[in-house]
Amino acid sequence: MQANDIRVFVPSKDYQTSQSFYQAMGFKMDPAGDDLAIFTNGTCTFFLQRHFNEEFAKNLMLQLIVADIEAAFDVISKIEGFNIRYEPIKSEPWGKVIYLWGPSGELWHITELNR
């Protein structure tokens, strides 16, 4: 078996809020049914589902690799009106990262890898 892609199903506590949040992050939304939407940015894609399990959401971690961590931080720091939190850019041995908790408690590792 050769895999071509892997896509996660992200839960949403409030489906409309999460949809708006990910669009504010720069993702394009395409509905995939009443309870599912596909979000795309570049070649990155994930599903947002109208389903919420608190334990799962609080333990879900995703890594989004970006080319420019400063540009990503600029976008994140300007997002208002959502129950999110984030930490400043942090340097790690492997690159730089912003920890961002989305509106359902999911943790994003927004990462610029060392070149």
pLDDT (tens digit, 9 = 90+) per residue, 102-115?
A: 999 999 999 999 97
pLDDT (tens digit per residue) in 70-106: 999 999 999 999 999 999 999 999 999 999 999 999 9
Q: Write the pLDDT tens digit of every residue in 17-36.
A: 999 999 999 999 999 999 99
Q: 31 near 76, Cβ under 8 Å?
A: no
CATH level 2 (architecture), domain 9-113? Roll (3.10)
What is the value of pTM for the model shown?
0.93
How far is residue 52's CA from residue 54's CA, in Å, rounded to a whole number?
6
